[in-house]
A = this chain, B = another copy of it.
Amino acid sequence: MIKKAVVLFSGGLDSTTTLAIARAEKYQSYAISFIYGQRHYHEIKTARRIIQQFDIKDHMILNIPLSNIGGSALTDEIEVPKNRPEGHLSNNIPITYVPARNTIFLAYALAWAETLNAFDLFIGVNALDYSGYPDCRPEYIKAFEHMANLATKAGIEGQKFCIHTPLIQLTKAQIIRKGIKLGVDYSITHSCYDPDESGRACGYCDSCLLRKKGFKEAGVPDPTRYIKDK
């Protein structure tokens, strides 16, 4: 019997690894990506390229009005903070936090899953090497899953939605090592919050720093194209 899964997919390092894990676990994947007025719109172009390397059943790209709501450096005209020296990550919840973003993403994924008769959702959240976002923590995911089963027709008819978070307890280095074992080509994945027009990474935002640190700790050459590179 075919097991279907809806996979939240941004084209970044974490969600690409998550897609590879769903594939390794024999799920037929339906990827969902969001255009939400993010500065890193480039990630959608990347997502399309990566998708071609996977045997995906369908890829839904939804244009959602998050920038109307605002409140984040990722959707507003607020400067994305750059951390110097390298390796210094900001504490607390950063201004790149987008209010209720994962809740909105998961809500759409849940809606699509229900129409597909898919009861497995994958999201590449990570509670260790992460940026301090509240909606990446295990207790949040568990609460969303509980809510999802009460929210839906499928849920009250006895189906059980399960939200898989295969990366949640991994360090960035462990994620990278896992992905490489599963054949992920990280050279085309994209993490930077503030890339240039050709998609090269800034090298200094939280997301770049976490990614760099991950490759370093994994002992794997970092294939990312940075702006400072020639």
Contacts and interface: CB of A to CB of B under 8 A. Distances in A.
Nearest to A154: B99
Contact of A110 (B68, B100, B152): B100
Contact of A152 (B69, B99, B150, B152): B99
Contact of A66 (B101, B104, B110, B111): B111
Contacts of A148: 100, 103
Interface string A142-162: 011011101111011000000
A219 to B, nearest CB: 34
Contacts of A111: 66, 69, 71, 98-101, 103-104
Interface stretch (A56-64, A79-87, A171-179): A56-64
Nearest to A157: B93
A134 interface: yes
A71 B110 contact: no
A225 interface: no
A93 B143 contact: no
Contacts of A150: 134-135, 137, 139-140, 143
A60 to B, nearest CB: 7
A93 B115 CA distance: 14
Central interface residue in A65, A102, A147, A151, by most chain B CB within 10 Å: A151
A65 B66 contact: no
A112 interface: yes
A107 interface: yes
A70 interface: yes
A28 to B, nearest CB: 18
A68 B111 CA distance: 11
A114 interface: yes
A182 to B, nearest CB: 29
25 contacts: A60-B68, A62-B68, A69-B108, A99-B110, A99-B114, A99-B152, A100-B108, A100-B110, A100-B151, A103-B110, A103-B111, A104-B104, A104-B107, A104-B108, A107-B107, A134-B153, A134-B156, A137-B150, A139-B150, A140-B147, A140-B150, A143-B143, A143-B147, A146-B146, A146-B147
